[in-house]
């Protein structure tokens, strides 16, 4: 009797379990493998456990390096500026260079109506005597030189450029160059060797036998060195240079 009674009970349990499994599976017919079920229930319903997907994205082993292009526009702008300051056109003192020099002029000269070309190699010939004839008693002036390396540089003289004995000028004198971008070198006050204008040469700065800028009486050869008067670097690429073009400009008030 006990054996016969156990068989219906076992069949009832099996049928009940099958019914439960079928009901659970029917609930998820629209989502055949729902991730929300526990592994045990999914194994119970589908026979195999489904591995859950990672909850976050896998990051690359290394982050790609983004090229830094922030310096490219700056470099391009500097190149364009340099080309504007130094080109094959005359006059050397073009509007771009004058804009750079203007803030360093004495306040009164900043109010000048215009700059006036007093002397140039092309117009007046290669002669220091002619140069002095054109610049004597004309007041403050700018000297602009272009050398055989296509570098433009020069200086500001606070008074007339004319033959004098010894150095002259005041603290408003300065040197400038475009050798590595536009730069100005004001008088440091360390000495009074500001401007020298004699029959055999024209020079700016001095001390220990070094001139910041020097030209011979042929207006052909020159040299530049760092000097104490202006605390300048060498204005030209090479210490010794050939003068390709020379201009001297005055100011009309």
pLDDT tens-place string over residues 92-130:
999 999 999 999 999 999 999 999 999 999 999 999 999
Q: CA separation (Å) from 182 to 17, 81, 247?
A: 93, 9, 18
Q: With 0.85 as the threshold, say if the pTM is over it.
A: no
Kindly state the DSSP code that residue 236 receives in the 8-state scheme. S
pLDDT category, 209, cuts 50, 70, 90? Answer: confident
Q: Give the three-state DSSP class for 39.
A: helix
CA dihedral 110, 115, 118, 119 (to 10 degrees): 100
Burial class (CB in 10 A: 0-12, 13-18, 19+), 66: exposed
pLDDT at 89: 82
pLDDT at 232: 97
């Amino acid at each position: 009797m006990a054996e016969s009674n156990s068989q219906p009970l076992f069949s009832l349990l099996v049928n009940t379990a099958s019914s439960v499994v079928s009901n659970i599976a029917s609930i998820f017919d629209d989502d055949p493998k729902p991730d929300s079920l526990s592994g045990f229930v999914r194994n119970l319903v589908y026979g195999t456990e489904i591995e859950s997907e990672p909850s976050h994205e896998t990051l690359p082993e290394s982050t790609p390096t983004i090229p830094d292009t922030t310096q490219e526009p700056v470099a391009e702008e500097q190149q364009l500026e340099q080309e504007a300051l130094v080109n094959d056109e005359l006059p050397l003192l073009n509007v771009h260079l004058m804009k750079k020099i203007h803030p360093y002029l004495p306040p009164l000269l900043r109010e000048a109506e215009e700059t006036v070309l007093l002397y140039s190699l092309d117009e007046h010939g290669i002669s220091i005597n002619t140069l002095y004839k054109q610049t004597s008693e004309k007041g403050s002036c700018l000297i602009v030189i272009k050398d055989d390396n296509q570098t433009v540089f020069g200086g500001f003289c606070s008074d007339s450029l004319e033959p004098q004995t010894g150095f002259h000028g005041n603290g408003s004198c300065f040197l400038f160059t475009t050798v590595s971008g536009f730069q100005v070198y004001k008088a440091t006050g360390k000495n009074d060797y500001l401007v020298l204008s004699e029959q055999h040469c024209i020079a700016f700065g001095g001390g220990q036998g070094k001139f910041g800028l020097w030209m011979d009486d042929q207006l052909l050869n020159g040299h530049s060195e760092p000097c104490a008067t202006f605390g300048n670097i060498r204005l030209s690429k090479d210490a010794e240079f050939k003068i390709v073009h020379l201009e001297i400009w005055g100011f009309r008030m």
